């Protein structure tokens, strides 16, 4: 009877160790996924910051050129050009706002994946611990764009 009990405990311990090893590997794969996602979204944040700086410079140059044309003695000769430039300015401002939203949205995604990376790294080391379900992923900034949105510099479909 004692031999059967010892064998049962031994088999139970073995099966539990195998289960925990599989669970640990699964948590490790999830941690690796979130590590890759962190790198991806950090890259997007960096690109969006660069794009924001470029758009700020374009808008500054645009405003300077517009001011020079408006103050020029030849402003009547350039009236159509000035009107065209004034019509373009709201699009440039929208591009600037879009870049800012991209940065904020991608930073949220970086923080989200950092939390999950820490969570799954810890669970891969201690697979017997329980964890709360993952919170929903923040929306991707690209998903928040209106349909058919295009940057102001991209030609419109005819």
What are the pLDDT digits (tens) for 123-156? 999 999 888 999 999 988 777 776 666 666 666 6
Torsion of CA 42, 48, 54, 56, to 10 degrees: -120
Residues 20-70 pLDDT 10s = 889 999 999 999 999 999 999 999 999 989 988 988 888 888 888 878 877
- Per domain, the residue ranges of the chain are 2-132
pTM metric for this prediction: 0.75
Burial 15-36 (b: 16+ CB within 10 A, else e): eeeeeeeeebeebbebbeebbe
Considering the domain delimited by 2-132, tell me its CATH architecture.
Answer: Orthogonal Bundle (1.10)
């Amino acid at each position: 009877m004692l031999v059967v009990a010892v064998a049962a405990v031994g088999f139970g311990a073995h099966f539990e160790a195998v289960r925990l090893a599989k669970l640990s590997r699964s948590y490790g794969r999830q941690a690796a996924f979130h590590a890759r996602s962190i790198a991806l979204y950090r890259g997007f944040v960096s690109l969006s910051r660069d794009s924001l700086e470029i758009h700020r410079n374009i808008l500054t140059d645009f405003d300077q050129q517009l001011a020079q044309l408006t103050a020029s003695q030849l402003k009547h000769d350039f009236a159509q050009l000035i009107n065209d430039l004034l019509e373009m300015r709201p699009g440039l401002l929208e591009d600037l706002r879009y870049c800012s939203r991209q940065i904020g949205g991608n930073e949220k995604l970086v923080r989200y994946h950092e939390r999950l990376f820490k969570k799954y790294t810890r669970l891969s080391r201690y697979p017997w611990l329980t964890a709360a379900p993952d919170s929903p992923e923040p929306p991707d900034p690209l998903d928040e764009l209106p349909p058919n949105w295009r940057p102001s510099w991209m030609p419109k479909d005819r």
